[in-house]
Amino acid sequence: MPDQHLSPAVKTSLLRGWLERFLAPGSLARKLMGRLFPPISILVVLDLSVTWILTRRMSLEDWLLRDIFWTMALSQVLLVSLIAWVLLSGIRSQLASIDDLSQQIRNRSDDDFERLDASALPAEVVPLVEHFNELLERQRDTLQAQKRFIGHAAHQLRTPLTGLQLESELMLARPLPEDIRQRAERIKSVSDRMIRLGQQLLVLARTDADSNIKDSFVRLDLCEWVREEGGDWFLQARQHGVEIHLLAPEKPVWIDAAPILLRELLSNLMDNALRYGLGTDRIVLRVASNPPSLSVEDHGPGIEASEQQRVFEAFYRSPGTQAGGSGLGLAIVQEIARAHGAWWSLMSRPDFPGTRITIVFPGPRIGARLTRHDTLIGN
């Protein structure tokens, strides 16, 4: 229908609809209009006032045309400069919320899938943020499904493997020909390793970031806890020809932790030191109070600088290592540290004569939502 055949009411309705789309509530255009319209209006009024004074109140006999030209030119330059400054400041202030959103995304950890807050953003950006939130939710659901599958698979494998381990132990308890004994020992060794792998996979599934791990936290003295748990490793360390030394302050060092997960963390650190710290004659368990931290040190061959980042990846094993293992030990240490709101560091040669892995706890803050998961290498 041609515009000239539209009724005034229809034209008004169309104009109102266009304005509502252009200046929708919460939109960037509407916010800029609301911020910039008053100062620009004042500047236009000032410009018109100056022009009116020059043309109506000033006598041409007192002014040369050149003076009038330069006065008008300077006033226009000043007006344009002021308008540009108002525009830039207004746009910058309105885009500050987008800058804040960008900073929030940049500072997020890898396992933080919380929804982004779009309440303070312009309406034009809200659909983008909502789609991004949906992507985060799908990614979180995918990771949860993977961890549930790993947990279920590990649980289902544990029963037959335990039976196989028991059968091999019963065989080894009897007199056997040497070749059969060697085969039974290999079966037992493989079943032990598979059971250990299943336990590690269950721990990985249990340390899901969205599970209520903090509900099982208790306040404990890290010094006393390490004395008790470290003592369980004396016999195994002695079998490897290694001594265990404990260095801890006399006063208690309090932290909030889940004892079961903390025991698994220490177990993986000790197993890692005994398995890969070849040639070391001692393992040092070091507890510090400020900040609360636990370090496990060995004086073995250390870890190459190019691999110090990768050793925390699940199933990664150094190509040059001869020791057996699943490659899950340090990955589990990392996940348990994250679940406790702690951060971890690794120091090795040439900065340290061996390998030192340190877990720094946030201290006794039950219920705190701590999200610092930085990995510090070589500090």
Mean pLDDT of 167-187: 83
Asked if residue 271 and residue 344 are part of one domain, the reply reads: yes
Asked if residue 332 belongs to a domain, the reply is: yes
CB-count burial class (<10 Å; 0-12, 13-18, 19+) for 367: exposed
Asked if residue 220 and residue 328 are part of one domain, the reply reads: yes
Beta strand 292-298 with 254-257 is unpaired
Asked if residue 9 belongs to a domain, the reply is: no
CATH number at residue 168: 1.10.287.130
% of the chain with per-residue pLDDT over 90: 13
**Helix crossing, 329-339 with 178-206: angle to 10°?**
30
Asked if residue 103 and residue 20 are part of one domain, the reply reads: yes
Asked if residue 195 and residue 98 are part of one domain, the reply reads: no
**Cα separation of 346 and 330, whole Å?**
10
Per-residue pLDDT band for 219 (boundaries 50, 70, 90) equals very high
Rounded (10°) CA dihedral 314, 319, 321, 327: 10
Enclosing H/E stretch for 345: strand 343-348
The residue type found at 209 is A
Asked if residue 369 belongs to a domain, the reply is: no
Asked if residue 312 belongs to a domain, the reply is: yes
Asked if residue 117 belongs to a domain, the reply is: no
Asked if residue 130 and residue 57 are part of one domain, the reply reads: no
Of 107, 133, 154, which marks where a domain is finished? 107
Asked if residue 163 belongs to a domain, the reply is: yes
**Region class of 19: left (phi > 0), else alpha (psi between -120 and 50), else beta:** alpha
Asked if residue 220 and residue 338 are part of one domain, the reply reads: yes
Which pLDDT score, from 0 to 100, does residue 66 have? 63
Which pLDDT score, from 0 to 100, does residue 278 have? 82
Residue given tokens 């515009």 in the structure block: 3
Does 46 or 208 have the greater pLDDT score? 46
CATH number at residue 239: 3.30.565.10
Asked if residue 182 belongs to a domain, the reply is: yes
Asked if residue 264 and residue 139 are part of one domain, the reply reads: no
Q: List pLDDT tens digits, range 269-320.
A: 998 898 888 888 899 999 998 899 999 999 888 888 878 888 888 767 776 6
**Cα separation of 108 and 283, whole Å?**
35
Residue 253 has pLDDT above 90, yes or no: yes
Q: Any alpha helices (H) in the chain, and if so which ranges?
A: 8-22, 28-52, 65-94, 96-106, 126-172, 178-206, 222-231, 234-239, 259-276, 329-339
Asked if residue 339 and residue 220 are part of one domain, the reply reads: yes
Of 55, 75, 107, which marks where a domain is finished? 107
Distances (CA, A) of 284 to 143, 219, 255, 259, 330: 36, 24, 20, 21, 18
Give the residue numbers spanning the domain of 69: 14-107
Q: List pLDDT tens digits, range 117-149.
A: 877 777 777 788 888 889 888 888 887 776 677
**C-beta of residue 364 within 8 angstroms of C-beta of residue 255:** yes
DSSP 285-322: EEEEETTEEEEEEE-SS---GGGTTGGGSTT---TT--
Of 179, 205, 231, which marks where a domain is finished? 205
**Cα separation of 304 and 111, whole Å?**
27
Asked if residue 341 and residue 248 are part of one domain, the reply reads: yes
How many domains does the structure of the chain reveal? 3
Q: How many other CB atoms are there within 10 angstroms of residue 173's CB atom?
A: 9
% of the chain with per-residue pLDDT over 70: 67
Joined together, the tokens standing for residue 320 give: 């040059």
Asked if residue 173 and residue 220 are part of one domain, the reply reads: no
Asked if residue 159 and residue 259 are part of one domain, the reply reads: no
**Cα separation of 260 and 164, whole Å?**
26
Residue 222 has pLDDT above 90, yes or no: yes
Asked if residue 1 belongs to a domain, the reply is: no
Asked if residue 175 and residue 289 are part of one domain, the reply reads: no
